[in-house]
Chains A and B, each alone.
Chain A
Amino acid sequence: MTDQTAPPATALPYLTPGTRAALASLLVAAICLALEGRADWLWEWPDAWTLPVTDWISQGLGWLFDLIRPVVRVISTLLRYPMDWVNVALVQTPWPLIIGATVALGWYAGGLSLALLSAIGLGFVLASGYWVEGMNTLALVFVSVPLALILGLFIGIWANESPRARPWIEATLDLMQTVPTFAYLTPLLLLFGFGPVVGLIASAIYAAPPMARNTLLGLQRVEAEVKEAGIMAGATRRQQLALVEIPAASTQIMIGVNQSLMAALSMVIIAAVIGGFDDIGWEVLLTMRQANFGQSFLAGLVIVAFAIIIDRISARMATNRDRHDLRISWIILAASAALAVYAWAALPAASDIALLAPTVEAVDGALTQFTRATGATLDSIKNTAMFYGLLPLRIGLDGAVLPFTWGFSWTATMSWVLLGGGAALGLAVALTGRVAFGASLPVMAVVLETGVADLPWPFVLFGVGAVAWVAGGWKLTRLALVLLALILVSGLWERALLSLYLCGAAVIACAVLGGLLGLLSAVSNIAWAIIRPICDMLQTIPLFVFLIPVLMFFQIGEFSAFLAIILYAIVPMIRYTRHGLVTTPPELLEAAVAAGATKTQIMRDVRAPFAAPTILLGLNQTILYAFAMLVITALIGTTGLGQSIYLALGQADVGLGIAAGAAMAILALISDRIVQGFAEERRRALGL
């Protein structure tokens, strides 16, 4: 990137850090290429050098788990009580009463619109025939969320009270959010044994960080003078917290509650893969495995209905203090209670309702017809993307170009032409002054020729290290290299590269597509009016549900995974791009207009550079989202770390589960730091 360090003291002509990093990577790539065939250890990390890290973890944790298992058993038994109670309460309560209570709450929080939303949503759940499964899921959520909230509140307050502990707590929270969801499950499974308690604990742990973060943020944002007014009134520290600071931070804390609820729901549904609990997530999984897509779509929609109702009501309660007439809520509740009591005998049991069964059949039929009619097109879309996009990226042109798909076979000459062409083009670009870009072109040619999954490890280490150095200096480089080396010696390297490839491909697609959609939303209000609710919707849907539509059309495989990741991870890219582009300070725009710039020029030369840091933050979010989804897509057939984590769960192999989970977290963490570093550097360059 641009110059941020002083010129070096050597006699070399001054090169920007970006140029130096690109040239160094190029040099390593050249060495690796030159030694291809002669030094296999360069291209493939030898097994002999691999440390049995996963075994160590298994043994260590096994020992630890044996030690704490008695305590855990007690916790597990204790948790069973509230779980059973809530479950019985939700399942046994007549459905009119539950719907009535939700509608009443919806009215109280948000008036007519939310009351209607609740009625329609729950009405749909009832009609779908998944009422009981839905209530089973909700029961887990409602027990895990209070645990998560208490835990999160406590951690948030602790971080606020102890400046010394704060950085550690924040780092742990960061880490917890990068650790893939499945990875939580394996150790818990080993500790608690099969059953819903695992899902409960996992979701409580997974849902606590957002609460902790928002609590800390809220407490820190309380106006200094409000805090001081508490002090000057002679409040003790405890009184300040309980009577002044926590209530004053309540809006932010309620946002934490909202995020915590959504996280818990998402995790409870993911935990269904463990099985053993008759919940809605399990239903989706089951029908998906049976290729019963109409049914699984319906179950997916039930999850979406829950997610939207929970999200909208809790979000409204967080951000809007106005409440609607409580009396009407009581009337709604009383009416539904009356209905439940007087018409009980006449009402069908929730589990007997299957109003939508015909619809499901119709959907199934239509889907079959659709796939039959467009099967060729869908296949050709999939194959084109696979053969000409994903596969070359994964195993390189030298492996992907085959007579069967490309019509010719790849030869060594072509490799040299590609590499030579890359070098020549790079040189030409470099001569125009953009040296860093020029030097990175041949590097890209190498990647394209070899394929991400087959890259020699010294090159990856060096390349990542170089990029980290440009983004964040030696400190970041050290961190990145140490962490990557951990993956390398633990024998997970190849799988990590596979994950990196799929994630990278999806992120690139998200960046291009999301960037374009963001740009479109920035220039056209109509486009934004259409895209915005879709984004809102996509962000509310639990991870798991994204698998259903892609499976319906593209079956199991890498391409479906790729699409699911894009669907989930594209939203932040769109939002941040638009936000960055539309929030250019008006003075800048006026200055540009006064200078006679056209709309396009303004976009390219004023808005885009100004939006760069924001867009980079969006990209960062997109990367984290992509990693989160990558693990889930292991369910529909991907290779790499996600698959290992999922397999580990099935085999209760805690060493592999944790090692692969950690490797995934490491990849996410390094990408996060690097992109943040670039964003920071851009922000500094803009003087923000």
Chain B
Amino acid sequence: MTTPDANGTPAIAVEGLWQVFGNDARARLKEARGRTGSAPEAAEELKQQGLIPAVQDAGFEVREGELFVIMGLSGSGKSTMVRCISRLVEPTAGSVLIDGEDILAASPKRLIELRRRKLGMVFQHFGLFPHMTVAENVAFPLKMLGKSRAERRARAFEVLDMVGLDGREDSYPRQLSGGQKQRVGIARSLAVNPDIWFLDEPFSALDPLIRRQLQDEFLKIQSGLRKTIVFITHDITEALKLADRIAIMRDGRIVQIGTPAEIVLKPVDNYVREFSKDVARGRHACLDSVIQTEGPLPEMPDDPKLRIDMTLDDALAACMSCYENVPVYDRDGKMAGYVHPKELADALTVDSE
């Protein structure tokens, strides 16, 4: 698992987080953990008692401005995870720090304050208020902040314009298509300009074409806003396209956290491998994930001028006719390491057992 930068407190720090659904979960979790040594065993025992351990012993940190993707199959506990972080459900055990503040210890008043100013959330099934128009939906968080009617409406129009929904301000949610509803949800969560943004499968209800378009728009918005984002998806292509780092969940557990390249090239188990099976690795991984930097430099007769930020596909194309180790340079032109073309080819095809 990757550690975040040492400098500064992480925007979100989660440690030992458990969410167990069922009666008397807290006591039974404690008991199960006391009896068994490891988290998976405890979870297994809880399951046998008829409880649902939806999140098990999760831990990770999200840096400020980072786009952190949580990925996993349906029912793996992704939504529950963000609900814990935003304390929409009360975690059974563990700690969640937001900008260093223990959110599980926050008073109800402080929690309201945090949600009004700092946190934004886009829901998997939109969660639009059926009795409000699009503009009223978007303006609702501003109303909670006590902004004036005129101010609310102006800001609502502004964010609606940003997500490309201008002209639909006075429609009701039931009059909108799925994609349009999702944009309203996004606009609403952006209205108060939160620092931390949770998005629960925001694009999964859309057809592929619109989805790609919205992803691009999303990246554009994010490049301007630079928010700390927790983004949930079960689509690996989406995850690879958007993420700075990805956490992969399975049955309530985080099985791997890493950059897109790490996920693609060094999957920790078959579950993760299965996810990335169909993605073209060469396009998502760069040379930095395969180069050798240690030991004495070998003999290198050829120099196809590989750079560290080339994708594997491009690099392989450049050294098609080489059979020995070749040097790799960093952005300033200094030698950063070397790679053997065969290893390069292997990296694209490994794990196909």
B-binding residues in A (CB < 8 A): 223, 225-226, 228-236, 239, 243-244, 247-248, 250
CB atoms of B116 and A234 under 8 A apart: yes
Residues of B within 8 A of A230 (CB): 129, 140
Residues of A within 8 A of B145 (CB): 234
Known A-B contacts A226-B128, A247-B131, A248-B129; A232 and B121 likewise in contact (beta carbons under 8 Å): yes
Interface residues of B in 129-159 (CB under 8 A from A): 129-132, 140-141, 143-145
CB atoms of A225 and B127 under 8 A apart: yes
Q: Can you list 25 A-B pairs, Cβ within 8 angstroms, ordered by A?
A: A225-B123, A225-B125, A225-B126, A226-B128, A226-B130, A228-B88, A228-B121, A228-B127, A230-B140, A232-B86, A232-B115, A232-B121, A232-B189, A233-B140, A234-B112, A234-B113, A234-B115, A234-B116, A234-B144, A234-B145, A235-B144, A243-B143, A247-B129, A247-B131, A248-B129
Residues of A within 8 A of B250 (CB): none
Bound-complex Cα distance A149 to B144 (A): 28
Residues of A within 8 A of B121 (CB): 228-229, 232
The residue on B at minimum CB distance from A235 is: B144
Residues of A within 8 A of B128 (CB): 226, 229
Q: Is B124's CB within 8 Å of the partner chain A?
A: yes
Q: How would residues 195 to 217 of chain B score, 1 for a CB under 8 Å from any chain A CB and 0 otherwise?
A: 00000000000000000000000
Residues of B within 8 A of A234 (CB): 112-117, 141, 144-145
CB atoms of B115 and A226 under 8 A apart: no
- A221 CB to nearest chain B CB (Å): 12
- B80 CB to nearest chain A CB (Å): 12
- B240 CB to nearest chain A CB (Å): 27
Q: Is B267's CB within 8 Å of the partner chain A?
A: no
CB atoms of B130 and A232 under 8 A apart: no
The residue on B at minimum CB distance from A246 is: B131
Q: Is B188's CB within 8 Å of the partner chain A?
A: yes
7 additional A-B pairs beyond A225-B125, A226-B130, A234-B117, beta carbons within 8 Å, are A229-B128, A232-B86, A233-B140, A233-B144, A234-B113, A234-B115, A247-B129
What count of chain B residues pass the 8 Å CB interface test?
Answer: 29
CB atoms of B123 and A233 under 8 A apart: no
Bound-complex Cα distance A232 to B189 (A): 9
Bound-complex Cα distance A226 to B131 (A): 11
CB atoms of A244 and B129 under 8 A apart: yes
- B76 CB to nearest chain A CB (Å): 19
CB atoms of B127 and A223 under 8 A apart: yes
Bound-complex Cα distance A248 to B130 (A): 6
Residues of A within 8 A of B189 (CB): 232
- B172 CB to nearest chain A CB (Å): 9
CB atoms of A250 and B131 under 8 A apart: yes
Q: Is B55's CB within 8 Å of the partner chain A?
A: no
- B112 CB to nearest chain A CB (Å): 5
The residue on B at minimum CB distance from A229 is: B127
Which one of A232, A239, A244, A248 contacts B120 once the chains associate, using CB atoms below 8 Å? A232
- B178 CB to nearest chain A CB (Å): 14
Bound-complex Cα distance A263 to B148 (A): 43
The residue on B at minimum CB distance from A222 is: B130
CB atoms of B144 and A229 under 8 A apart: no
CB atoms of A231 and B144 under 8 A apart: no
Residues of A within 8 A of B126 (CB): 225
Q: How would residues 227 to 239 of chain B score, 1 for a CB under 8 Å from any chain A CB and 0 otherwise?
A: 0000000000000
Q: Is B287's CB within 8 Å of the partner chain A?
A: no
CB atoms of B116 and A226 under 8 A apart: no
Known A-B contacts A225-B125, A232-B115, A234-B115; A248 and B88 likewise in contact (beta carbons under 8 Å): no
Q: How would residues 81 to 123 of chain B score, 1 for a CB under 8 Å from any chain A CB and 0 otherwise?
A: 0010010100000000000000000000000111111011101
CB atoms of B130 and A233 under 8 A apart: no
The residue on B at minimum CB distance from A225 is: B127
CB atoms of A233 and B127 under 8 A apart: no
- B263 CB to nearest chain A CB (Å): 29
Residues of B within 8 A of A248 (CB): 129-131
CB atoms of B115 and A233 under 8 A apart: yes
9 smallest beta-carbon distances between A and B, as pairs: A234-B116, A225-B127, A229-B127, A234-B115, A233-B141, A247-B131, A225-B123, A232-B121, A234-B144
CB atoms of B129 and A229 under 8 A apart: yes
Residues of A within 8 A of B131 (CB): 247-248, 250
Bound-complex Cα distance A243 to B145 (A): 14
